[in-house]
A and B are shown apart, each in its own frame.
Chain A
Amino acid sequence: MTIHASRRDVLKGSGALVVSFSFVGVIGETLAQGTKPVALTEVDSFLAIDRSGVVTIYTGKVDVGTGIATALLQIVADELDVPLNATKLVEGDTGLTPDQGKTWGSLSIQVGGMQLRNAAATARAALLEQAANRLGAKTEDLKVVDGVVSAGNKRVSYGELIGGKSFALKLDHAKPTAGKDPKDYKFVGKVVPRVDIPDKVTGRFTYMHDFRVPGMLHGRVIRPSAIGATLESVDETSIKDIPGVVKVVRQGNFLGVVAESEWGAIKAAQKLKASWSKSQTLPEAAKLWDEVRGSEIAKDEVTMNVGDTAEALDRAGAKTIKATYDFAIHTHGSIGPSCAVAQFKDGKLTSWSASQATHDLRKQLAMMFGMNVDSVRCIYIEGSGCYGRNGHEDAAADAALLAKAVGRPVRVQWSRADEHGWDPKGPPTLVDLRASVNGAGAVTAWESEFYIPQQTAGSFLVPLVAATLASMPAADDIAPGNIFQNSAIPYKFANIKTVCRRLASTPFRPSWIRTPGRMQNTYANECFIDELAAGANADPVEFRLKYLDPNDKRGIEVLNRVAALAKWDKRSSPSRNQRGDVATGRGIAYCKYELSRTYIAGVAEVEVKRSTGEIRVTKFYLAHDCGQIINPDGVKNQLDGNVIQTISRTLIEELKYDRSAVTSLDWASYPILRFPQIPELVYDLIDRPNERPWGAGEPAATIVPPAISNAVFDAIGVRLRSVPYTPDKVMAAMKGAA
C-alpha cells in the first residue's frame, strides 16, 4: 500500500451533512469539486480515516427514513473492526460520494452496502499489511480491536497508519475482497439502535425542511390550474400590499414568487392573480380502465414463455378461468411536502434536496440550465419519508429556477396541494389473466397481460415539472421504473405466457412508488392463483406448494413458516358457516421478489362488515427471508412500513381527478390509514448469516394486497379485483355475486 501524504480533510467546511453518533451538521463553503475521488473503483471514494481514527464513510445511497444509515455504519464498522461511534456517514453528495445508483429497488444494502463492505475489507487488508511492516510481525499474527492493530504487546492504530492520508487502492466490485467470517461479526446481524432517532425525537435533527443558507429567500410556486394549461396573464398588482415580495418569476408556464419571508411567499402565492387557459387532457375518471385498455401499445414484452399456452387453452376438456384485476393511481403522500434550496454562485449551482438520486438530479439540472455537469453539485439532506421518486427533484428544479431569477439562494417549500397535485404518480395498472384447468383440476396453462406504461430504454429521468413548464431543455423520458418485474410467475405450470403490454402513454406523469409494478403484478398473480385454488377446492397453501419449484427450498420454507406462524387451518376457501354481520377470513400470498431475491409469504386476517362493506385487517403475519440480516430491528421496522402503508394503499387510496387536474389535493380527499385501523403484526424473520444480504425495504409490500383480497374472499366468498377495496366496491361486489 502506498500512503499519500497530506490528504485534505475534505469534510471541513464542505457543505456536506454528516451523519454520525454525535450528528455533526457542517454547513459552510462549497468544496471545490474534484479534490476527493468519487469513482466506484477507488477505496478513497468510500472511506477516509483521520488521525484520531474516525472513519468517514461516503455513500451515494441515502437514508430516506428507513434507517439505512445505521445499517451501513454497522457493515463498515464490522468489516474494519472499529467502534460504531468512530464512524460518520456522508450521503448523496455529488461532490463527495460515489454514484452508487438511485436509492431505490431495495438495493441500498444489497448493492450499496456490499460495495462499502468491499471497500472496508480492502482497506483493512492494506492496513494490516502496513501494520505488519510497522510492527515487524506476520499479518496472520495480528489482532485488531477497535481500530488498533496489535502483535503481542506492540500496537499501532489505524489513525497512526493512515490518518489523514489516502489509501490509493483500487476496487473491483465484481471480485470483492474476502471479508470477515460472518460468525465473527460484532455489529452485523445485531440490533443496533438507530443513530438518528435521539435527535429526531428531541427536535435536534435537521431535515431538508429545516435547512437554511445565509442570504436565503423563500420561494413558492403557482402551478397551472390544469395540466397542460397555458399561462395567459399575471396581475402583479394583486400582491402589491404584501411586504417583502422580491419578485414574481414568470417563464413560459412556470410561475413562482420569491419573498424575504416564508409567510410572505405563501401569502403572495395564494393571492397572486393569474389566468390560465382551459385544458382537458385527462380521461374521465369513470372510464379510466377503458382508456388504459384502449391506449396505444408501444410494444409487447414477453416476460415468460414456457410451452404453448394457446394450444393448452384450446385443448378439448380444458376449463378456462379468466379474471381482470386493476390497481388505482397512487400518490406518494410524504407527510412533509417537497422542499429544496438552490444557490447559483460563480457560475456554479449548488442544490440541496432530499432527492433519492442526487447524481441523476445533477444531470437533469445541468441539462435544464445548459450547464456542464461538473458545475452542478447536488447534496442530499434527509427529508420527510420518501417511497420513490416523489416531488423532491421537482422542488429542486423550482428552487434552482427561482434562485437564478433573483440571483440569491432560494428555498422552495411545496404546499400540500402542490405535493398531492404535482408529484409524479404510480400509474394505473390493468391485468388480464387466463388459465386452463384439466379434468383432474390441475392447472395446464397460465396467460397474463399487464397494461402498463412503457419505460424509456436505459433512462430513468422523470421529467422535472419546472423544466417542462418553462420549456427548458429536458429529457422526455417516461419513467415508471422497472414495473415489468414480477409479471412472470414462480409457479411451474406446463404452459406459461406472461406479456407486458407497454402503453405509449399514461394519464399522469408516472414514477416509481414503493414496490413499483412488483406490487401490482404480484397482487394480480397471487389473487388469481387463489382463484384457481378455490376452483379446485384446494387449500391455498398446499395449492401453491404443489406448483412451486421443489428445488427452490427457501421459497417453500417461507410459505411453510408463515403457515405455521399463522396457525393456518388447512382447508379450501371460502370458509363456511359464517353468520352475522361481521365475517372473518384469512388469506395467503407469496412472492419471490423479482423472481431472484428476497422471499416473502404473508397471511392477512380480516373482518368484513356485510352491512357496510367495510374491511378491517386485524392481524398480519409475515415470513421474510432477505438472506443475511444486517440489523433485525431495522428489518422489522421496514416490514411494519411495508404492511401498514400497503394496507392503506389497498383499502383506501385512490387519486381523484377531473378532466383537467388532480382534485384530491389534501388528506381529506386522499385519506390514508389512521392509528385506530392498524392491525397486529407478527413476523418470522429468517436470518441467513452466510448468504448474501438482499433488500427489505419493498419486497414485503408485494403480498399485502393479494393476502387481503384472498382473506376477503375467504370471509364472504366474493372476489375483489379492483384496488382500493372501498366499502362501495365491496357492496357492489357482494351484490354482483348474489
Chain B
Amino acid sequence: MAQSKSLNVNGKAVRIMIDDPDMPLLYALRDNLALHGPCFGCGLAQCGACTVHIDGKAVRSCVTLLSSLSVRQKVVTLEGLGTPERLHPVQRAFIEEQATQCGYCINGVIMESAAFLAKTKKPTEAQVKDALANNLCRCGAHARIVKAVMRAASV
C-alpha cells in the first residue's frame, strides 16, 4: 500500500511516497529524490558505494531500512556534503589530488573519509587506510585516495 514517509535529507524536510516501509534508504535517495551521489554497488553492505551520513555517521544506505529512520535524523548525501561552488575540504582534496578513476566508489570513499576526519583530526596514513578498509575500489585509485584524505586532514 502506498504510504508517505518523511525524511530530512541534505538539510531539507522531504516527503516521499513508498509501497514498502522496509525499502532501503538507497532507493528512496536515488529513485524518489533523484540523487546521484549514493550508488548501488552490492546491496549487501560489502562495498561502501552507497554510503551516506546519518547524524554525521557513515552508514550503508543499501541496508538501512526506511522504517528505521525518523524525520529527526539528518541524512546527508554527497550532494549535501558540499557543492561545486562550496566544496567540502574532502571533495576539494579529491579534485586537487585527481583521486578518482571511474569514480563509482568515490561517493562512499568521500563520505566515509569525511565522517572519519570529523572525529580524527591528525590521522596517520595507516589510520586512513584502516578507516577505508571496508570501501572497495576496483580501478586502483587507492593510493591517490589516501593522499587526498591526508591532504584534507592537513587543512
Contacts and interface: CB of A to CB of B under 8 A. Distances in A.
A415 B43 contact: yes
Given A67-B101, A207-B36, A643-B140, 19 more contacts: A201-B78, A202-B82, A202-B84, A202-B87, A204-B36, A204-B84, A206-B36, A207-B39, A243-B2, A335-B138, A385-B102, A386-B102, A640-B140, A645-B138, A667-B47, A674-B136, A675-B132, A675-B142, A678-B143
A200 B19 contact: no
Nearest to A644: B140
B79 A678 contact: no
Interface string B36-80: 110111111011010000000000000000000000000001110
Nearest to B46: A667
Nearest to B20: A263
Contacts of B24: 263
Interface string A650-678: 00000000000000001110001111101
Contact of A676 (B79, B110, B129): B129
Contact of A197 (B34, B98, B135): B98
Nearest to A193: B98
Contacts of B87: 202
Interface of B: 1-2, 18-20, 23-24, 27, 30-31, 34-37, 39-44, 46-47, 49, 77-79, 82-84, 87, 91, 94-95, 98, 100-107, 110, 126, 128-130, 132-146
Contacts of B144: 637, 640
B146 A641 contact: no
Contact of B141 (A336, A641, A676): A641
Given A194-B98, A385-B138, A681-B143, A200 B103 contact: yes
B39 A209 contact: yes
Binding site secondary structure of chain B: loop
A201 B95 contact: yes
A66 B101 contact: yes
Nearest to B103: A200
A633 B126 CA distance: 25
23 contacts: A198-B84, A201-B78, A201-B103, A201-B110, A243-B1, A263-B18, A335-B41, A335-B104, A336-B41, A336-B49, A337-B41, A385-B104, A416-B46, A637-B101, A637-B144, A645-B138, A666-B42, A666-B44, A666-B46, A667-B44, A667-B46, A676-B126, A676-B133
Interface residues of A, number: 63
Interface in A299-338: 333-337
B139 A261 contact: no
Contacts of B106: 200-201
Nearest to A385: B102
Given A198-B95, A203-B36, A644-B143, A678 B129 contact: yes
A336 B40 contact: yes
Nearest to B35: A203
A413 interface: yes
A568 interface: no
A422 B107 CA distance: 26
A124 B39 CA distance: 42
A262 interface: yes
Interface in A153-194: 193-194
Contacts of B143: 640, 644, 678, 680-681
B138 A334 contact: yes
A668 B42 CA distance: 11
A502 B15 CA distance: 60
Given A197-B98, A678-B143, A678-B146, A667 B42 contact: yes
Contacts of A193: 95, 98
A672 B48 CA distance: 14
A216 to B, nearest CB: 11
A535 interface: no
Contacts of B19: 243-244, 261, 263-264
B42 A416 contact: yes
